[in-house]
Amino acid sequence: MVTIPLDASDQSEVQAGDTVSITLPDGTTTPGVVSSVGTVATTTPGQQGQGPTTTIPAYVNLTDPTAAGSLDQAPVTVNITTGSSPGPVLAVPVTALVAQSSGTYVVEVVGPGNTRRWIPVQVGPVFDDTDGLVQVTGKLTPGQQVVVPAS
């Protein structure tokens, strides 16, 4: 069993029966299922200038318990999908979005000869927190290069 300190604000997004992907310390992944989500929140003080964190426990069972081998306690990463789209989606890095004063978004696209232009996009409902991607619709086509700020 894996215990997740789930951010309390995500409680309504995760339910018993949800499938998850668990990355084990050796880098392998194995499927799991949320067995229950707690109802008692715990607040821990923040570290180095960060605010406090409020979490609730969520419990996940590995679909194949033998995948964990001889592990008794170990840090793992649990990926929970809380939204999806029925077909292929076009996604861009969140950092490619440029907010406009009108409340809309644009992305800068690189064309032939390093020409650049702004394309209006609508942000979709699907976000990939792990990879920092967001679903968009608009006059973009798969494979177009979008500009992201240098880190």
Q: Is the pTM of this model over 0.75?
A: no
Same domain (yes/no): 30, 75: yes
Residue 21: the pLDDT is: 92
Position 85 in a domain: no
> Rounded distance, CA 80 to CA 7, Å?
12
Neighbour tally for 118: CB within 10 Å:
12
Whole-number average pLDDT of the chain: 89
**pLDDT tens digits for 4-35?**
999 898 888 899 999 999 999 999 999 999 99
The residue assigned the tokens 């789930």 is: 6
pLDDT of 106 over the 90 cut = yes
Residue at which a domain ends, from 28, 62, 80: 80
For residue 145, give Cα distances in angstroms to 48, 63, 114. Answer: 37, 39, 10
Higher pLDDT, 44 or 84: 44
Domain boundary among 80, 110, 128: 80
Number of domains, the chain: 2
- Domain residues for 35? 2-80
| Domain co-membership, 13 together with 62 | yes
Last residue of a domain, one of 40, 62, 80: 80
Q: Residue with structure tokens 């018993």?
A: 16
Do residues 106 and 120 lie in contact, with contact meaning Cβ atoms separated by under 8 Å? yes
Quick one: CA dihedral 99, 102, 103, 104, positive or negative? negative
